[in-house]
Structure 1
């Protein structure tokens, strides 16, 4: 995926026409935005893998990945969905199309660096971080062990990345941290959700109070845009078991962590 990472102005400037024939830029802005949506908005998230800044034209190496139940099941080449050359047609298209490309897509990062020219920073609205089990004991089944590694390692890392990201992307609306379990084929169930016999509301409330003591957020702007999730592992969806003798008894869903975190921010 080649992106205009260099210093390019994105101020709207009407492009000069060579003749009087009706062109794309003569269409109403609403219609042009529809076209930009089809051209630059993807289903899923754009996962930034690497940036190569040593080339004449800097290149972002990225894939389109599944996000929030949308997008390809397997990672897909960005070039198969987005034609970046469209942005280079003229300055007016570049200004209008860049807003769609950067504002309407979710950018998933593994590290905290996204090498974009400063002129694009204020366009980005949605960023997510994938947090692998770099600290293996974070995904332990023991509540005390999880609490220790959460407080000492995981949450300080979240705060560091969050504050740096907000400093860089001044108009960010959503900053998500996605916990990816190290247990292949099994979605991690945090021990702070309490007994499996509890109802969903009881589990979410219990988890929210546990999170409140472990997740201090002093920045009010960060509190509004920060979200926490668990990435579901691949496998057979629970719905496939309904009505069969193998129906799963545990109705816990990984989305409960997101609900508990949102409740925690209100406590």
Structure 2
């Protein structure tokens, strides 16, 4: 009777059709783009980004936004156990009548006049509403807020006489606040 143990020896697998391309044949950059959108619903917007009401923002963060982030990141870790970094880019959708360059999440309107103070206050606000089920997820999860299409970052203004004041809101503050929140916990 032949041995029924599976062989663990590696051997090259050949495609049925050598003209077809699989996901793993794509360059790493394209695969990363595909992985970035695998577990996301396009055009989904949470109320935490479209309201000035801090209570509604807090409720949305705790009950909708953060559980969805944990679910997506958990699926990503399960699907790709060796992943070292999961960055979730988020696109805000300001109200149609609002000025995109003036838009910012409600928890950044807590009274900080400088960027550093706004980041500290937002990190403390996030800390009270964010829990991580395990350390691995805390270490590899990163949230970033993408700029509105017609918003220009401070870095792009570098050297220009039209550069915004230090006190003006910059969308990169969201990512900095999230990283500070993880360090505070």
- Give the TM-score normalised by the residue count of structure 1: 0.51
Alpha-carbon deviations, 1:30-84, whole Å to 9, x = none? xxxxxxxxxxxxxxxxxxxxxxxxxx99xxxxxxxxxxxxxxxxxxxxxxxxxx9
Match of 1:108 in 2: 36
TM-score (norm 2): 0.70
Relative contact order, higher structure (CA 8 A, sep 6+)? 2
Specify the SS of the correspondent of 1:172: coil
- The structure-2 alpha-carbon separation of the partners of 1:158 and 1:143, relative to structure 1 and needing over 3 Å to count, comes to same
Taking the TM superposition and a 5 Å limit, the aligned residue runs for 1:64-213 are 98=25, 101=28, 105-106=32-33, 107-109=35-37, 112=39, 129=40, 132-136=43-47, 138-183=49-94, 186=100, 188-194=103-109, 198-213=113-128
1:218 aligned partner? 133
Gaps of 5+ in 1: 1-10, 16-55, 58-83, 89-93, 113-128
Identify the residue that residue 4 of structure 2 maps to in structure 1: none
158 and 248 in structure 1: CA distance in 2 versus 1, 3 angstrom threshold: same
Q: Structure 1 pair 243/223, CA: closer, same or farther in 2 (3 Å)?
A: same
Deviation at 1:145, TM superposition (A): 1.3
CA distance in 2, matches of 1:12, 1:258: 44
Q: Per-residue CA shift, 1:138-168, capped at 9, x if unaligned?
A: 4211212111111111111111111122111
Please list the CA deviations of residues 198-236 of structure 1 after superposition, one character each: whole Å capped at 9, or x if unmatched.
Answer: 111101111111111111112111111101111111115
The Cα shift of 1:243 comes to: 2.5
Name stretches of at least 5 consecutive residues in structure 2 with no aligned partner.
1-9
Alignment check: 8 A CA contact 1:194 1:206 kept:
no
Contact 2:48 2:61 in 1 (8 A): no
* Count of equivalent residues: 164
Change (3 A) 1:203 1:130: farther
Structure number with the higher strand fraction is 1
Label 1:221 to 1:137 Cα distance change in 2 as closer, same or farther (>3 A). Answer: closer
TM-fit CA distance, 1:177 = 1.9
Match of 1:254 in 2: 171
Alignment RMSD, CA only?
3.6
CA distance in 2, matches of 1:237, 1:100: 30
Q: Deviations over 1:183-202 (max 9, x none)?
A: 26715411212357611110
Q: Distance in 2 between matches of 1:230 and 1:131?
A: 15
More helix by share: 2
> What is the deviation of 1:178?
2.0
Query: For 1:243, which of 156, 161, 172 is the aligned residue?
Result: 161
**Shift in CA distance, 98/170, structure 1 to aligned 2, threshold 3 Å:** farther
